[in-house]
Amino acid sequence: MKILVVEDDPTTADFIARGFSEEGHSVDRLADGRSALGQAMQGSYDVLVVDRMLPELDGLSLVKALRAARVATPAIFLTSVGGVEDRIAGLEAGGDDYLVKPFAFGELSARVAALTRRPPLQAEETTLKAGDLEMDLVRREVRRAGRPIDLLPREFALLEHLLRRKGRVQTRTMLLENVWDIHFDPGTNVVETHISRLRAKVDKPFDHELIRTVRGAGYRIDD
């Protein structure tokens, strides 16, 4: 296992590095958050052991920056503050575990081993596509053939639902439940109206349609 230890206290860093080395792991050590950010972005580490209070860039900011850059390497925080709010802050920053100082190396080793046994996280999908249509879920933008399409919030939600299930028929009931959170027949044509509005923006200005009606069944979006 390849481990990056980010700890500015030499005694603690020596203690951790020696323990993992004796277990047969490869250990790199850094004493400040900014250097660790660059190293973690470039190196292929199995686990990061990160002190919360670091010079240059604190541990929380370090892990937040890594998660923003889609680096999913498991990270365990080491800290001298162990209040509930502190632990919550560490987890919300993207940390996977939290160990309060002083600690026994055996516990740290067991927690690190547990992190490496977890299945890898799947990268969160941020872009949905169908043919020349593209939806950016982060920017909340839709483009077709490079042209921006202005959608109202419910139209965006409807298109997102169809794109996430591309090629699969979505019935009127499915759309009511998943887009409108309505679990009964409201007795209106709200689905049909919104499909019509969506088609006017997504299909009508272009040379071929993506949103299709499956007679007697529902709707689907295709490439």
- C-alpha dihedral (198, 176, 141, 222), degrees to nearest 10: -60
Residue 104's contacts (CB-CB under 8 Å, 6 or more residues apart) are: none
CA distance 107 to 117: 15
Which pair of tokens denotes residue 41?
Answer: 């972005």
Strands 97-100 and 75-79: parallel
47 and 109 Cβ atoms separated by less than 8 Å: no
Q: What pLDDT is attached to residue 211?
A: 96
Q: What is the pLDDT of residue 72?
A: 86
Q: Which CATH architecture has domain 2-117?
A: 3-Layer(aba) Sandwich (3.40)
- pLDDT the model gives residue 119: 62
pLDDT tens-digit map of 158-216: 999 999 999 999 999 999 999 998 988 888 899 999 999 999 999 999 999 999 999 99
| pTM of the predicted model over 0.85 | no
Topology at the third CATH level for domain 127-221: Arc Repressor Mutant, subunit A (1.10.10)
Specify the pLDDT at position 215.
92
Low-confidence ranges of the chain (pLDDT < 50): none
Write down the pLDDT at residue 223.
84
pLDDT on residue 84: 77
Quote the pLDDT of residue 88: 82
CA dihedral 184, 188, 192, 193 (to 10 degrees): -130
Please state the domain extents for the chain: 2-117, 127-221
